[in-house]
Amino acid sequence: MKVLMKRITISMLLTLVSLILMGCTQESTKIKSSVNTDPLCIGANYYNPGCPGYGNGTTTPGTCTNPTINDKTCANYCTVHPTGTGCVNGMNCNIYPYAAGCPASGSGTNPYPRYGSTYVDKNWSVHYPFVPSLNCATATAPTNISYTPYETRQGSITLAGKNSYDPASGQAYFDTTSELLQSVDNARNFFWGDSTLKVRFKANLQPESANTTTVCPGRKTGVSSMKGYGRIKFDLYLVGKRGNGTVSTVALGTKTIDINKCTPAINLSTYAEEFPNGIYLKISNVQGNQGWSPGIGYEAYYDNYGFIYPQNPYVQNTWKAIRDAECWSLDIEVAADGTKTFN
């Protein structure tokens, strides 16, 4: 009997030691996970099945209570330890190693489709006595991604006055309008987004009205020259296609832009989700602020600044439709899933 009890006691001790060793191994795995370098287990993916963080009850890096210098997978690690290993300007490179400034920046595989597009060359002459400097913040990489972002999608539209932009209209375009904006199918790619979609506009300098070249389709020539607009306004519409195939048009309001300036970002993310079969934008009722003429005593402002506001304090919002002998031109920039972003 004593021999049996001794064997049971030894067996229990061996089992206890085994459990302790397993716990140590698991703890060792947790410690190793804080420096995991597998790209498939980085960032939010750290908590996916097969990755070290799987099974801890969360899907994103969590906030820890008083994280130590070794708790590098805590979302607030770099807030508590701003000079800790892997912290760059408050970004936790241990969780987001591909973020801007982190060592692996530029090496992650982007999981989203790329629809590349750039602005057209503005190689036309203009009639401006004064041109304001460009005021449009550069797009930057999002901070909470684990891949290399594409550049934003960039496009230009240049049409004759009294003409609206609608890729479904069948109207003709020159190379002064970007290719991805010339048809419905391409425009849906240009404005593609899954959960993120933002756009902004910039008013380009107006082509010289006395040009012998047309610059934009349908423009009339042989008219007197006029100083270029300083600001334009237009009505903006979104056309979306739902999952069941129905198409709807949404009015997005009237937008006003000074030349060489960008609008704030217009967030269209909810529409990208509402219309999963694609969206595109339409522009109509384009007007310039060329309805003002200088009165006595104001000629110098007009001569020096034309229709630029606020350099010419007497140019107000005196709108008129842009003449069909002139062109209007806009740049459009899109930030979506997989691209850089802007505000």
**Confidence label for 105 from pLDDT (cuts 50, 70 and 90):** low
Provide the pLDDT for residue 104: 63
Provide the pLDDT for residue 177: 97
Mean pLDDT of 111-130: 92
Provide the pLDDT for residue 63: 75
The SS3 assignment for 164 reads coil
Q: What is the pLDDT of residues 16-68, one digit of tens each?
A: 445 444 443 333 222 222 334 444 455 555 555 445 554 454 445 667 888 88
Quick one: which of 145, 60, 153, 143 has its CA closest to 110? 145
Residues facing residue 91 across a β-bridge: 88
Mean pLDDT of 62-80: 82
Helix (H) or strand (E) holding 190: helix 184-190
Residues facing residue 126 across a β-bridge: 207
Greater model confidence, 234 or 8? 234
pLDDT over 90 (residue 101): no
Greater model confidence, 227 or 100? 227
Whether the ω angle into residue 313 lies within 30 degrees of 0, i.e. cis, is no
Percent of the chain residues past pLDDT 70, beyond the cut: 78
Dist. CA 33–CA 52, nearest whole Å: 6
Q: What is the pLDDT of residues 238-276, one digit of tens each?
A: 999 999 999 999 999 999 999 999 999 999 999 999 999
pLDDT over 50 (residue 164): yes
Burial class (CB in 10 A: 0-12, 13-18, 19+), 64: middle
Dist. CA 315–CA 299, nearest whole Å: 12
What would the DSSP string read from start to end of 12-42? HHHHHHHHHHHHHHHHHHHHHHTT---GGGS
Flag whether the pTM goes above 0.75. no
Q: What is the pLDDT of residues 12-29, one digit of tens each?
A: 544 544 544 444 333 322
230 in Cβ contact with 129 (< 8 Å): no
Q: What is the pLDDT of residues 188-210, one digit of tens each?
A: 999 999 999 999 999 999 998 87
Average pLDDT of every residue of the chain: 82
Provide the pLDDT for residue 204: 97
